[in-house]
Amino acid sequence: MKIYFIITAIVLIVLSSCDRTYVVSGKVISDVDGQMITNAKIITSERLTIYSDSLGKFRLNLFGPGSRSDKLEVLVIKEGYETKYFDLSKYEDVHNITLELKPYNTPFITKYPLSFVTTAYYVNLTIVNLIVLFTLGFVFFKKVKYRWLWIALILLVNLTLRVNYINGYIDVDFFHFPFYFKHYSFYPFTFKIPILFSTIAFWSIYFIDRNRIIKN
């Protein structure tokens, strides 16, 4: 019983996060002559779209990573300039950000199709979530050896690859919970590839030699 409460406490601690509001401000300029770019469309990772003002400046109120969105990200679009992705979480001073665009007339081409974002979301929402829920139910109700250890491993020992469809960059999220419910509109530039180490290990052992994992 004590193990159950310990595991529950760990789960609640990892899942809990404090919402913080980030005030992000800066300007959009040309990287050729430094001229301010007005009316540039700025799409954020938190269902918010704004435009730079007559001086090329902008101001955003974002909730930031761990609350609504996974990362502080924006996509800047302006006719006559390249469409460019920026990861704002990498800037040290988020109150004085300079976003530089290059004059460009070539059509915007992404590393991967945008459809990857929605497809990965629905695959994770249905197939991945169902596999994990089924595995947890199986472990809980069957006579599985080291039941609570397996439950803890299935919940905690996972890895998620977050692939930016625009530039192809990959971020690795270690010890990710194996559930994917957050709508893709909160990570519109990324598709997620889950690697469920413990779930894969459990079923591999079960099908190879179930006596090692099931009590007689």
pLDDT tens digits for range 62-91: 665 544 566 788 899 998 998 899 988 788
In this predicted structure, what is the pLDDT of residue 14?
Answer: 47
Coil, strand, or helix at residue 49? Answer: strand
In whole angstroms, give the CA distance from residue 71 to residue 89. 7
pLDDT tens digits, one per residue of 40-64: 999 887 677 889 999 999 998 766 5
Torsional sign, CA 30, 35, 40, 44: positive
| Any domain includes 40 | yes
Give the chain's mean pLDDT: 84
| Any domain includes 13 | no
Beta bridge partners of 100: 29
Domain span holding position 118 = 112-212
Q: Assign residue 29 the CATH number of its domain.
A: 2.60.40.1120
First and final CA of the chain: distance in angstroms? 22
In this predicted structure, what is the pLDDT of residue 95?
Answer: 84
pLDDT < 50 stretches in the chain: 12-19, 66-67
In this predicted structure, what is the pLDDT of residue 24?
Answer: 84
Same-domain pairing of 89 and 125: no
Same-domain pairing of 131 and 72: no
Strands 41-44 and 49-51 turn out to be: antiparallel
Same-domain pairing of 130 and 197: yes
Same-domain pairing of 34 and 84: yes
| Any domain includes 155 | yes
Same-domain pairing of 79 and 124: no
In this predicted structure, what is the pLDDT of residue 19?
Answer: 47
Same-domain pairing of 116 and 186: yes
Other residues' Cβ atoms within 10 Å of the Cβ of residue 37: 19
In this predicted structure, what is the pLDDT of residue 21?
Answer: 63
| Any domain includes 16 | no
In whole angstroms, give the CA distance from residue 178 to residue 157. 9
In this predicted structure, what is the pLDDT of residue 183?
Answer: 82
Same-domain pairing of 72 and 95: yes
In whole angstroms, give the CA distance from residue 160 to residue 182. 14
| Any domain includes 10 | no
The helix or strand, by DSSP H or E, that contains position 205, with its residue range, turns out to be helix 197-208
